[in-house]
A and B are shown apart, each in its own frame.
Chain A
Amino acid sequence: MTTTQRRIFLPLITFVLFVALWQILSWGLRVPVYLMPSPIDIFNGGMRLGPALFTNTGETLITILIGFALSCAIGIPLGVLVSVNRITSEAIYPLIVFLNAIPIVAIAPILVVIFGTDMVARLIIVTLIAFFPIMVATASGILDTPDEMLDLARVAGASPLTEILTVRLPHAIALIFGGLRIGVTVAVVGAVVAEFVNANKGLGFLVTSSTAQFAIPTAMACVVMLALISVVLYEGVNFVHRTFFGWSLRQEAGATKPPQRNTGRLAGRPFFVWRAAVRRLR
């Protein structure tokens, strides 16, 4: 068995075994469906929804995708803005940290009151939660640019803008995609929260409405669908990264210093990563 085959089959076997074990335990322990439905129950629950499952998935997907696009459109320029200039960084970063510190679940109902129950409120909620990791990743990437490259740009006579466009941003790509990976998964969370509080369609709405009627298998089918969306979008970001920015996957191998990056820490405590990065800037 080749490595590629193993990489496909091993997880698949684990997954099938997990589902099978779940099914067997449900039968063996006679767990009531309304407490914990078995995989077959969930499948049937999904079938009961029929095409509605897919139209609602589409609704949620549109919210996620537009919201994520907005997050990129806001997060990346904002990341550049707070990282290239100490004045802008000191002026607006605390505000952004404050905005990010607001629990999204708490503010979601208020946003619905302000912006109404249409798409706008949902998009704002998704964007509010997803732009932050993207912004922090962009800022870290911009600040991570090796001094030698900046020297090169400066000796070549680059203006600050040229320097950002030709050196800093390309160098930041690897880290930006780290932020996009986090951003796209939290965008799914944001969309569901938004649909919890205000929607008459979408998977989040189906979860709440089904649960209210104790149709747990149906709700679980929607949850499975959400997980699938999350995985597919995550892999989609990976795919774009590999296809169009393949060089950044092996940035260490070039003439640059090996970037000290730690996307895990970036995910958990962006603020501290930010402080460290700013200290390097000074």
Chain B
Amino acid sequence: MLAGLQKPTTGDVWIGGDKNRRGFSEVAIVFQRATLLPWLTILKNVLYPVRVLNGRADAQDKARALELLEMVGLADMAERMPHELSGGMQQRAAIARSLILDPKILLMDEPFGALDALTREDLQLDLLDIHARTRKTILLVTHSINEAVLLSDRVAVMSARPGRMQDLIEIDIPKPRSHESAALPAFIDYSKRIRDDIFGPRAHRISAS
């Protein structure tokens, strides 16, 4: 709904006093899989939102795309085709693409879900760096409690049926964070609270029936 992929049954979605979506300059998205277009080079993939919005990309856009690729560590891959990159690199390119138009909100739908565990940890730290540098509003959906606590300022726990927000937790863990933050007592407390939110009521319901 936020991205404009679905229409709300009632009401509107307002972002910064505006309810119309104007492509990636408003809300950008990173999917579970990189979803790079296999017929475009990495550079052109990053520029794709610009092309859709303005019809063509000028030299300034290209410079920005290269800058973003540099930031995600893919500067030398700009002219490669997507299939030449590993899964982690493809996802980095997708992140660069999502930032090309400087969106107000960045949506990430389980962005590291399709990656192996090690690549995942690597990219989580990269995302923390990117966030520190760009200060973007990022809405990240994940099934990993650890990921949620590690990356977030605020965690909203959603219940499955009905899909409602069940709990909203401010994560007060000092930045910069690293995977060692997971050993902090506060980190463990937050994880426990989220786990209770998710599994507690369900266990209760089963025993009551």
Contacts and interface: CB of A to CB of B under 8 A. Distances in A.
Contact of B52 (A148, A157, A173, A251): A157
B162 interface: no
Contact of A155 (B28, B37, B82, B83): B28
Given A156-B53, A157-B23, A254-B82, A151 B29 contact: yes
B3 A155 contact: yes
> How big is chain B's contact interface, by range?
20 to 34
A157 B37 contact: no
A115 interface: no
B35 interface: yes
B31 A248 contact: no
Nearest to A256: B38
Given A155-B24, A255-B90, A162 B52 contact: yes
Given A155-B23, A255-B33, A166 B81 contact: no
Interface in A168-209: 170, 173
A107 to B, nearest CB: 39
Interface in A141-177: 146, 148-149, 151-158, 162, 166-167, 170, 173
Contacts of B19: none
Interface string B8-34: 000000000000011110011101011
Interface in B63-86: 81-83
A35 interface: no
Nearest to B94: A255
Interface in A236-270: 245, 247-248, 250-251, 253-256
A164 to B, nearest CB: 12
A245 B39 CA distance: 8
Given A155-B24, A155-B27, A166-B48, A148 B4 contact: no
B49 interface: yes
B53 A157 contact: yes
A247 B31 contact: no
Given A155-B3, A155-B5, A247-B81, A254 B23 contact: no
B34 A255 contact: yes
Interface in B46-67: 48-49, 51-53
A257 to B, nearest CB: 8
> How big is chain A's contact interface, by range?
20 to 34
B53 A173 contact: no
A255 B38 contact: yes
Contact of A156 (B24, B34, B38): B24
A148 B29 contact: no
Contacts of B48: 152, 156, 166
B52 A153 contact: yes
Contact of A149 (B27, B37, B52, B90): B37
B82 to A, nearest CB: 5
A149 B94 CA distance: 12
Contact of A151 (B23, B27, B31): B31
Given A155-B21, A173-B39, 8 more contacts: A149-B37, A151-B5, A158-B23, A166-B48, A166-B51, A254-B83, A255-B36, A256-B38
Interface of B: 3-5, 21-24, 27-29, 31, 33-39, 48-49, 51-53, 81-83, 90
Interface of A: 146, 148-149, 151-158, 162, 166-167, 170, 173, 245, 247-248, 250-251, 253-256
Nearest 6 Cβ contacts at the A-B interface: A157-B23, A254-B38, A253-B83, A255-B34, A156-B52, A148-B35
